[in-house]
Amino acid sequence: MKYFVYIRKSVEDEERQVMSLEAQLAEINEFARREGLDIARIFKENKSAKMPGRPVFNEMIFAIHEKKDPKGIIAWHPDRLAKKSVDGGQIIYLIDMGKIVSLKFPTFWFEPTPQGLFMLQVAFGQSKYYSDNLSENVRRGVRQKIRRGEWARATGFEPMSAD
């Protein structure tokens, strides 16, 4: 069986998370070599999974839909594939349809059984929760900076005056 590799970093800025893609790929290549997995293609994306519509992810999903041979996917962790229910749903659907017959993660165990699919959905849900919770915590921190009259760069607000 041939595997697609999907690696993703959350930040599009080239200067942030510079090592993320390189580190994921190195770990995955080592994992694939150790497990005897045949890598057909590597999909590399610099885009957050917070919103649906990642072009490289969509290209991979399209390639899986179009191929007659079932495929496997290797990713660092399920959160690299999906942080929103629509993306996780696509992966689960492709497994249900027999288009994806194997998911491999160096950091997560998965088998295409009812229990395995449930645990994958839980991992996708945890990824969404982590992302949503982090966003709320950042917004709370920005609001507190504004209350103290500090510069809140993340929002583009100017410092508050003492008037």
E strand or H helix that includes residue 104: strand 100-104
Q: Does residue 163 lie within any of the structural domains?
A: no
Give the tens place of pLDDT for each residue, 47-88: 877 777 889 999 999 999 887 777 899 999 998 998 888 888
For the record, the structure tokens of 66 come out as 């179009």
pLDDT of residue 136 exceeding 60: yes
Give the tens place of pLDDT for each residue, 99-123: 999 999 998 888 888 888 888 888 8
Amino acid at 147: R
Q: Does residue 44 lie within any of the structural domains?
A: yes
Q: Residue 86: which domain range? A: 2-155
Q: Does residue 148 lie within any of the structural domains?
A: yes
Q: Does residue 160 lie within any of the structural domains?
A: no
Q: Does residue 32 lie within any of the structural domains?
A: yes
Q: Does residue 161 lie within any of the structural domains?
A: no
Give the tens place of pLDDT for each residue, 6-59: 999 876 545 555 558 999 999 999 999 999 999 999 999 988 777 778 899 999
Q: How far apart are CA 7 and CA 23, in angstroms?
A: 10
Q: Does residue 162 lie within any of the structural domains?
A: no
Instruction: Report whether 32 contacts 4 (CB < 8 A).
Output: no
Characterize 88-125 residue by residue with b for buried, 16 or more Cβ atoms within 10 angstroms of its Cβ, and e for exposed. Answer: bebbbebbeeebbebbbbbeeebeeeeeebebbbebbe
For the record, the structure tokens of 37 come out as 């997995």
Instruction: Report whether 70 contacts 99 (CB < 8 A).
Output: yes
Amino acid at 93: Y
CATH number of the domain encompassing residue 42: 3.40.50.1390
pLDDT band at 162 (very low <50, low <70, confident <90, very high): very low
Q: Does residue 132 lie within any of the structural domains?
A: yes
Q: How far apart are CA 114 and CA 93, in angstroms?
A: 13
Q: Could you give the number of structural domains in the chain?
A: 1
